[in-house]
Structure 1
Amino acid sequence: MVWWPGLFFVLMLAWIFLPIYISGQVTTMPEYLRKRFGGSRIPLTLAVLYLFIYIFTKISVDMYAGAIFIQQSLHLDLYLAVIGLLAITAVYTIAGGLAAVIYTDALQTFIMLIGALSLMGYSFAEVGGLQGLQEKYFSAVASNRSENSSCGLPREDAFHMFRDPLTSDLPWPGILFGMSIPSLWYWCTDQVIVQRTLAAKNLSHAKGGSIMAAYLKVLPLFVMVFPGMVSRILFPDQVACAIPDICKKVCGNPSGCSDIAYPKLVLELLPTGLRGLMMAVMVAALMSSLTSIFNSASTIFTMDLWTHFRPQATEKELLIVGRVFVLILVLVSIFWIPVVQASQGGQLFIYIQSISSYLQPSVAIVFIMGCFWKRTNEKGAFAGLIFGLLLGLIRLVLDFIYVQPLCGEPDERPEVVKVHYLYFSMILSIVTLLTVFAVSWFTEPPSSEMVSRLTWATRHDHDPVLPKNQVSITTTPPPVPEASSVNWPKSLPENASKAHSDGVSPKQSKVLQTLLWLCGLEGKGQAEPPLPSEAEPVRISLKEKPLVKTFLDINLIICLSCAIFLWGYFA
């Protein structure tokens, strides 16, 4: 149920944020901040932060989750399973680029839906439907649990979304407000998500994709959460284990084995044919997530960081650097997996949400203020961003120093660490908001060039009159480096020129040919391509066909109505 706030924000992306990004002609989120505020310190800070978040929340967690499934099904070592998963994923990500990622994502979505819905049907049939699940869940406890301990017992509010604000694991004020800001960051300002909407043909296509994603956001409760609860009923000694030594033997994690609930259900409940399909589904889902993150991280590193320090870099150089960076990213993420395994009581979801609550609110507030308050300037945005990130990093480090105790152990952590991460997200958002507002109000306002077509109120503005030495925002942004658009040097070495003039290509070794293929550069040295003509400024129109716009708006209302009903029903 905690996924449902994202339903509102994925729609907000297409109807509110995307028109601003399109109007500003941006390709990455740090680029938007560079145009909106000027300077380089905010975009560089954001680019580094995005890569940090990708490594420690997205890539590490996805690899760990995939490794758990492969480990449970094939009984392989955890790190051997990680290497196998990465080997499959890296081949078409490094060689194929964004196009390969988008096409495989679209295909894998249908496979995932078929497999997940099948498993949901088998799960409900096994326990007697939703009513049977509600009756049997509270008696699903491990047989080896100590009778005098509360460890391993199901929560009494397990089927409620609005839980006690003080004693519950997910307090309702935190769900409504604390989780909303990180969710807004993810769906409206994260490069992984926004990059796909920016790749749409027009605004109407982007809205249609967002509506489809919003409808799919309704499904996780039924195809993931409820089947996971069924797994606890069917396999309580494994999924609900509470004794550290036993949990270590079951899943290799003394903090608990709730992370194996879904793989256990797949491997034990489904018949052979569907089991194979579901194995493909889960691996496809993890590969889909990894490929998206790899591509977006590579784009941010090459276009926002590398080009800042090497503005003269050619597209060939950017292409190779992007591929190499993905490999480095993978290695760092692998070394972080043991930390993921031991953090937040061994629960992946809590680990992801806690780090998101410490690092993402300040970024989301800067985007909100930049998009909707024209008075926001670079000094205010930078002050709020840095102050919020420092507070978040302090809490993050304290969480790693004072690890959450196992069930039954006394909690001797400092009081600041005991503050729920969702409440800390609320505090962080308010502090960042006040900082951005105060500094922006008492310093000089931004120039008209920093506001025109870069806020909600000015998205329809005409191009401002710029000084001669300043580039208009309508200039076509530098493209993401692809294998088909390598910018070769105008002059070749003397021996190479001679070889080409004789019609003979220089012979390349097999190793070099393999490296060029991995970087998408095979066959590019056979002839010098013609120089491209100078690109003309382009502007994607925000206009939509009236009939299509009406159809999309009606679907928007229907989708929001369904979400509000489900919130009320499960509250």
Structure 2
Amino acid sequence: MLDLVLVLAFIAYSVSAGLRARKVASRDLGEFFLAGRTLRGWQAGASMAATQFAADTPLLVTGLVAAGGLSRLWLLWSYGLSFLLLAYVFAGPWRRARVLTDAELVELRYGGRGALALRACKALYYGGVLNGAALAMVVVGAVRFTEVFLPWHAWLPEAWFSPVVALVRAFGGQFVAISGAAPDVAGADALISLVVLLGFTALYSLTGGLRAVVATDVVQLAIMLIGTALYAGAVLAAVGGPGDITAALVAGHGEAQATAWLSLWPGDAFAPALLVVLVLPWLFQASADGTGYLAQRCMACSDEVEARRSGLVFAWLQIVIRSVPWVITALGLLVLLPPGPGPVDVAAREQTFVQGIDLLLSPGARGLMLVAMLAALASTIDTHLNWGASYWSHDVYGRLWCEALRKRKPSGRELVWVARAANVALLLVALILAARIGSIQAAWHVSLLFGAGIGAVLILRWLWERINLWSEFAAIAVSLVLAPTLLAWSDDAHWRLAVMAVVSTLVTTIVALCTAPADPASLLEFYRRARPLGFWARTAAAAGDDPRAPRRALARALGHVVRDGLALYLALYGSIRLLFPLPAGGRVGAIAALAVSGALVLWSLRSRVE
């Protein structure tokens, strides 16, 4: 009963947040999608972190650790550099550009013929393909935990449940059933759970817009951090402590395997891929410059200082604060629910995160953890709905359909209603895709590959004035054509990623050099509004600025990224190694890493104050 009370309280708060913000959010798209540009940096950063604290991510972490040890988590941790680049290089220009969506930036950046077509293309690609895939992975994560805690087939009368089973059979989709139920029964359970969960999430997202999303995200993040900390504590209590986890891994699987699980440095077959892991995923990705909901949060901040602060808050929450309890839980579950002999069943190991909640937590703590998982789901779904709908309403319907084709200006309230309809459509797409995803990890690798093809051009368009719209068209084409080919030819995710990144960068650069530059007037307008960093000498001179100023600003920003990156990763390394030293190692290095990280943080804070 206590579990149910906590869940209902969470649902009531979320829905009320949407209703409270409904009136102001209905005025126009600026209020609905950017909260009137009034967010503080800590609010935007916490909302970013809540969005990526998805229901599927702790399951993904559990599967990655079981399959290859802590070193596999660099696939996630490497993105900290991207978050710091967002803070110091891109957040300010995003806020200064004063656009409503990242797709709208295309017309400001390039101008001339073809810009509208590229804007529409990017809106469809991000709002449809990439956003739908991301939502589908979150939905799969939700299914992993609802099938344990929400067995509708045992609760509902047969007359109510049978039509849902028939619908699942007719649909042909099949969710992975770890609970032992028949696939169509598990699918019916999942469908009912998702309709309920996604329904209440859509309710406050549809009504309150970004204001409601951020208001709920902040509370949801706090719940998620508290819940996962309690879960990690329960795991430690069940095993005996961090030292007992290490000892149990050695005793149960041998020192070599225990070291492989605990090592933060890739070894064996994974070692040659280290450069790929540490460089390519965070640099060559679909949101390399913040494109998507990260840019949306920056654009919604009250000024560029708050936008920069949001990126820094996000980086620390994402890489250090949320990672430590997940690492404790993933390693503890290897002891409490040990994997069997032979290759690791990734989907089954992902599910152990949910099984551990049911096994280890008392009713009150389990209820809090259930709310935390619901919050993780809701905070990701609401962002993807709000952000994805911005493309369909503002770029596709408003700019392309109404203004370009119908030659009329749509009203603000009309666009808000289109945005709400787009939310419903996105939910249906996510459900269809989720029914065909096996493991979260496999789907995640596919999404990385598609995103890698457009990462380079997203960064270069801010840093190099020579990039034009044909470069962006070429990058999208490379991604759409080469990704399916690489998926058919190779099972090596790192090799595929490297090939995609190299080919995409070469094609982007060659196209930029072999085609006409962007319209000079558009470049000048973009430079004056956004003040980008990097290689903008000609445009800066045309604006009356020192041609060397953008390059110097970029050099300073990259220096800040290096300094804060060292602080971030030393704190991460020190925290994990202090808890879990290697079987043959000690804790001296961990203490030194934490001390250096603290000194770098103080330096960073002092420089910002000065």
The answer to whether structure 1 residue 168 and structure 2 residue 270 are counterparts is: yes
The answer to whether structure 1 residue 561 and structure 2 residue 567 are counterparts is: yes
The answer to whether structure 1 residue 325 and structure 2 residue 428 are counterparts is: no
Q: How many residues end up aligned between the 2 structures? A: 437
* Sequence identity (%): 21
1:82 Cα offset (Å) = 1.3
* Equivalent residues in 2 for 1:512-523, closer than 5 Å: none
Q: Secondary structure at the match of 1:319?
A: helix
Amino acid across the alignment from 1:6:
Y
Contact 1:387 1:432 in 2 (8 A): yes
Contact 2:249 2:258 in 1 (8 A): no
Contact 1:164 1:171 in 2 (8 A): no
Contact 1:120 1:223 in 2 (8 A): yes
The answer to whether structure 1 residue 44 and structure 2 residue 120 are counterparts is: yes
Higher-RCO chain (CA-CA 8 Å, sequence separation at least 6) = 2
Partners of 1:13 and 1:36 lie apart in 2 by 18
Q: Secondary structure at the match of 2:436?
A: helix
The answer to whether structure 1 residue 64 and structure 2 residue 130 are counterparts is: no
Amino acid across the alignment from 1:28:
T
1:231 Cα offset (Å) = 2.0
Partners of 1:224 and 1:24 lie apart in 2 by 37
Alignment partner for residue 119 of structure 1, among 214, 231, 235?
Answer: 231
Correspondence for 2:436: 339
Correspondence for 1:207: 308
Partners of 1:138 and 1:34 lie apart in 2 by 58
Correspondence for 2:547: none
Alignment partner for residue 460 of structure 2, among 352, 369, 375?
Answer: 369
1:37 Cα offset (Å) = 2.3
1:67 Cα offset (Å) = 2.3
Contact 2:132 2:429 in 1 (8 A): no
- Quickly say closer, same or farther: Cα 1:155–1:444, change in 2 above 3 A: farther
Contact 2:467 2:517 in 1 (8 A): yes
Alignment partner for residue 230 of structure 1, among 332, 339, 363?
Answer: 332
Which has the higher Rg, Structure 1 or Structure 2?
1
Segment of structure 1 superposing worse, 556-565 or 70-79: 556-565
What's the Cα RMSD here?
A: 3.3
* Equivalent residues in 2 for 1:360-509, closer than 5 Å: 360-396=451-487, 398=488, 416-418=489-491, 420-452=492-524, 453=527, 455-457=532-534
Partners of 1:109 and 1:379 lie apart in 2 by 40
Amino acid across the alignment from 1:159:
L
1:562 Cα offset (Å) = 3.4
- Quickly say closer, same or farther: Cα 1:355–1:139, change in 2 above 3 A: farther
Structure 2: gaps spanning 5 or more residues: 1-72, 153-188, 544-549, 551-555, 583-610
Correspondence for 2:294: 193
1:565 Cα offset (Å) = 5.5
Partners of 1:113 and 1:294 lie apart in 2 by 23
Amino acid across the alignment from 2:568:
C
Contact 1:228 1:262 in 2 (8 A): yes
- Quickly say closer, same or farther: Cα 1:460–1:325, change in 2 above 3 A: farther
Partners of 1:205 and 1:27 lie apart in 2 by 17
Correspondence for 1:481: none
1:388 Cα offset (Å) = 3.2
Q: Normalising to structure 2: TM-score of the pair?
A: 0.65
Partners of 1:295 and 1:82 lie apart in 2 by 18
Correspondence for 2:81: 8
Partners of 2:85 and 2:123 lie apart in 1 by 23
Which structure carries more helix by proportion?
A: 2
Contact 1:357 1:421 in 2 (8 A): no
Contact 1:112 1:281 in 2 (8 A): yes
- Quickly say closer, same or farther: Cα 1:182–1:379, change in 2 above 3 A: closer
Q: Deviations over 1:507-549 (max 9, x none)?
A: xxxxxxxxxxxxxxxxxxxxxxxxxxxxxxxxxxx9xxxxxxx
Alignment partner for residue 285 of structure 1, among 364, 372, 376?
Answer: 376
- Quickly say closer, same or farther: Cα 1:26–1:289, change in 2 above 3 A: same
1:92 Cα offset (Å) = 0.7
Contact 2:109 2:522 in 1 (8 A): yes
- Quickly say closer, same or farther: Cα 1:269–1:566, change in 2 above 3 A: same
Partners of 1:75 and 1:214 lie apart in 2 by 37
Q: Deviations over 1:405-464 (max 9, x none)?
A: xxxxxxxxxxx222x223322221111111121121122222323323154245998898
Correspondence for 2:412: 315
Segment of structure 1 superposing worse, 92-101 or 188-197: 188-197
Partners of 1:369 and 1:322 lie apart in 2 by 31
Contact 2:466 2:512 in 1 (8 A): yes
Amino acid across the alignment from 2:413:
K
Correspondence for 2:262: 159
Correspondence for 1:35: 108
Q: Normalising to structure 1: TM-score of the pair?
A: 0.69
Contact 1:182 1:364 in 2 (8 A): yes
1:309 Cα offset (Å) = 1.9
Q: Deviations over 1:80-138 (max 9, x none)?
A: 21112112211111111111001000111111111111222222232233332233236
